[in-house]
Every structure is written in structure tokens, then in C-alpha cells.
A and B are shown apart, each in its own frame.
Chain A
Amino acid sequence: MAISEYNQMDALAYGSRMLNWAPLGKLFLAASLLAVDLISSSFIVPMATAVIGISLMAYSTNLRLPKIVGLLILESLAIIIICSALVSVMPSEGTTIRELSVLGIKLTITDQSFNYALLIFTRSFAGITVMLAFATSTPIPFFANSLRQLRIPPEIVELTVLIYRYSFLMLEQLQTLWNAASSRLGFSSFKRSVHSAASIAVNIFITSLDMAERSGNALACRNFTGTFPVFRPPRRLSALWIAGIAAIAAVLYAVGRYTEGWIDPASLLFGAG
């Protein structure tokens, strides 16, 4: 269930060996890897990115890949496979390697559409590993506080932290109400499920609104001025980080340019192309 995923990912991030790395550095590293992945049409680049992502994830989680990360990868893989399969049957030029008939509709896979679908698959898989490496090492409050370095207005940073904290408040209530409704057979039929879901949503919103108003008053009583103080602020993005990210991105881009066309999966698997 997504609720427990959310809590477990948060706990995982707080226990990460990469917790003290600059959050903005990690974010920009992930973003630059993903951007180079998209620019390059070589299969080597997403493969290299996936290796980087998996290595970072392994280091972040101390080589103990938790079940939750495995489940998230499997869930994402299922979506990627379906999406890539759709792209592979899109009308395109090239040599036909397979013809299928689904529900009376004739589908054709060409060498070009197959290679493109496989490239999307590797890009997406690499993207998932890089994003999970970031997710398993960066709690949202660390990320939100690091945004101050980018001169993001304090109201936006505060709102980001508040949304995050209220999400937990609501998630806790959701879990309780969901279990209560379930134990009263509130999900025993379609009609009851819809009614229970609506009642839970209303109750959560109204009770959270009351609770948030009380917490707002409590913060005001403590001279809250819109900034949540952090005992140990996250590390700032340094010039070394920027240079390192630029170097990695440049190397990957050069590798992509050099290895373009090296791997032709359609030719290797079907002898086409």
C-alpha cells in the first residue's frame, strides 16, 4: 500500500549513508544524468546511468536493498514494459520483424520501432534507479531547506514543508480510518466501498483542518515567523559538486556520441536491420 511505502521511504532516507551529502548536489546529479540519457540515442548511456543509479542506491542503503525498494522497482518495471510494448507497435519505417493480431487489429513491429522501444525501456529503467537513489538518501525536509540556497521565497519553502508534514498527519488518520472501515465490512461491496472511501476522505479533511488550525495557533504562540529552524542544516551545494556533476555529464555525453549505433538489438535478436 502506498501509505506504508511513503513511511518506509522516509525512514530509509533518514538512515542513509548519503544523508549528509548536499541535497541540491544529489538532485542536480540525478537531473543531469536523466537529461544526458534523453539527449543521447546510444544504449550505452542509459546502461551506464543505471549502473551509477544502482551503485548509489546500494551505497545509500548500505548494500541492503530493502523490500520496499524492490517492490517499487518491480512496480515501475511493469509500467515501463507496458509503455515500451505500446511504442514498439507504433507505425514506423524499417524492416518488419514481427506481425501480431490482437483483437482483430493487425500490429506490426519494425526494427526501428523495436530499437526505439528498447531504448525507452533502458532510459526509463535507468531513470527509476537514479530517482530511487535520490529518494533513499534525501528526506523531504532536507530537500525543502536546501531550496533556500536557490533563493526560493521562504513562503514556498514553508508551504512545501507544511504539505509534507500534513501529508503524514493525514496518512496516519487514513490508516486508522481505513482499518476501522475495513473491520466494519465497509469495503464488502462496490457501493459500500465508494461510500466508505468518500466518508474517509471527508473525515480526514475536516479533522485535519481542525488539527492544522490548532497547530497553527500553537506555532503562532511560539512566535513562529514562517521558518522551521533546522538543528543541523543540510550541506550547501559547493563549486566542487557543480564541477563533478558537469564532468560526469560531459563524459557520459561524449560516450553517447562515440558509441551511437554500436548496439542494434533488432539485428542481434531478429537478424533484421
Chain B
Amino acid sequence: MHIIEGYLPAEWCLLWFIIAVPIVYLGARKIIETMRSDPAQKIPIALSGAFIFLLSSLKMPSATGSSSHPTGTGLSVALYGVTVTAFLATIVLIFQAILLAHGGLTTLGANTVSMGVFGPAVGFLVWRTLRKMKIGIAPAMFMTAALADLSTYVITALQLTLAHGSGDYMWAFTEFMATFAVTQIPIAVIEGIIFAIFADYLHRTRPELFGTECDANEMPEAA
């Protein structure tokens, strides 16, 4: 759920832009360096961006009876890290804003911080920690995708609280969490399951995509 155009006051839009820009800039620099040093990488990176966009269109059933879509950043952060994911998410958010009027231009900074920075950062930490603990690809990806998704909505609720909850922050945060975040728990779990199956398939068919994250003893026999 992106924050819609016009929903945040100007000062908060500016603040979230200031927070997002350096991280997105680092991601852009990293991508440029990667594309210059290894031009073959540009296609997988572009595909990851397209994949994030596509997953926004992949509507899934929700336990609440409604339908929603994953953020799609779990896989990208596991493969490329936080800054690259932040940059890819920014491009996707711009596409969604100017092509489908989803999200907004003035709320782009806030949406980038929640979907492109904070969510992926949580996902990245979870992924690295679980992989260091020798947890398998599928369960590690389940936790990465689910927590990246869930934390995106938690930070969105926090952003809305800071902007509109000046009367009573705790009350406002509870209200936004109840409306936005809690309904996302089943969706986050579903996204986790889908990505776990996805990572398991990908690990068996294209193990090289996981690079050094994949231990030799986990390599499938076919590989």
C-alpha cells in the first residue's frame, strides 16, 4: 500500500526525500559501477526491477477475503543488497505513480523509505542472519520476504502517524497499524510462502543466482 498523493504535509514529504536520496544515490552508483565493470549484470538487474513491478500486479488471495500484492523486494535484497533494491524500488514507484497514479510524486520519498529502504533493510538483516545460522534457502527466504513485507507496512503506519497523529501519537499509531499493518499479516505470510517456494525452485534450477550465499553442501545434485 503506497501513500497516496497529497496525503503527507510538505515538510514530511521533504524529510522523507532527504532520507531517501542518499541511499538511492548509493544504489545508483553501485549499479553504474556494476554495469560498467560487468555489462552482463545489467540484464539480471533490470529483470529484478521488472520483477518488483510485476509482483505488484500479481494479486493474491488474502485470509481477510480481500486481495493484495507482495512488495517483491525480498528476492532483490537477497540477491543484490539494500541500496540496489532501494534504487530499483524507486524506479518502480515512479512507474507506478506516473503510469497508474498509484502512490504519488510528492510522497515518492516516503514510499521509497518504506518499500525501498526500511523493508529491504529488515529483509537483508534477516536473510544474512539466517544464512549465517545455516538455515536453508526456503525457510530463510520465507522469513526474509514476510518480514520485509510486514516491516514495510509498519514503517508506513509510522510515517502516517508522524504526519497526522500530533494530537495523540500512540492512539494514531494504533489506528494506522490496525488499519494498514495488521491486515497485512496474512498477506506477508502468503508472500513468504510464495517466495519460499520460489527460492526453492530457483535454488534448484539456477543456483548461481544465489552466488556465495549458497553453500556447497546445499547445492542440488543436478548442479
Contacts and interface: CB of A to CB of B under 8 A. Distances in A.
Contacts of B7: 83, 120, 123-124
A205 B51 contact: yes
Nearest to A139: B99
Interface stretch (B27-35, B116-124, B212-220): B27-35
8 contacts: A35-B10, A126-B6, A127-B4, A128-B5, A135-B100, A164-B95, A194-B197, A205-B47
Contact of A198 (B40, B57, B193): B193
Contacts, number: 212
Given A9-B99, A202-B202, A38 B165 contact: no
Contact of B59 (A2, A132, A155): A2
Nearest to A110: B167
A211 B171 CA distance: 51
Contacts of B49: 159, 162-163, 166
Looking at chain B's contact residues, is the secondary structure mostly helix, strand, loop, or mixed? Answer: helix
Interface residues of A, number: 79
B153 interface: no
Given A86-B179, A127-B6, A201 B100 contact: no
A212 interface: yes
Contact of A156 (B13, B31, B61): B31
Contacts of A171: 54, 57
A143 interface: yes
Interface in B149-169: 164-168
Nearest to A13: B99
A53 B50 CA distance: 29
Nearest to B193: A194
A34 B194 contact: no
Q: How large is the interface on B (under 10, 10 to 19, 20 to 34, 35 or more residues)?
A: 35 or more
A156 B28 contact: yes
B31 A159 contact: yes
B190 interface: yes
A86 B175 contact: yes
Given A126-B6, A212-B43, A2 B56 contact: yes
